[in-house]
Amino acid sequence: MKVGSKIKNFRAEMTGKTDFNFADYKNKKLIIYFYPRDNTPGCTSEGEDFRDNYNLFQKKKIEIFGVSKDTLKSHEGFKDKFNFPFELISDPDEKVCKIFDVIKEKSMYGKKYMGIERSTFLIGTDGKLINEWRKVKVKGHVEEILKNI
């Protein structure tokens, strides 16, 4: 996927009362951010940064969605525990991750495995990718996004 390319429609389970359907967000700007796992320190900090700046995104008419491979039940608990004002998309089969090409080889304690590379995508009202941030470092990330919008 390249900046300027159209995102193909997808559906996925999401917190809240309805499932996510990309087609439902035509004419809206979206931030879709991918993170490795609910309730881990980095992922919690990133979610809190989006939460704490949520009003700034809303003023710019941008909706935020977080995505990980965690279950819907895990997402509901994570969202409630940290009072996230945005919804979380559950992607256990990596369908959405594959659309955005965020599954990468990672390494922990010398062991290699495939997992989500922390990434954020800004999508325009026309459904095209405006900007992407890959290999995200949590500290200062949300502020960087806000500067670039």
List residues with catalytic annotation.
43
- DSSP summary character for residue 8: P
Strand, coil or helix: 47: helix
d(C-alpha 96, C-alpha 116), whole Å: 11
60 exposure class (CB count in 10 Å sphere: 0-12, 13-18, 19+)? exposed
CA dihedral sign of residues 133, 67, 12, 103: positive
Tracing tokens 């977080």 back to the chain, one arrives at 66
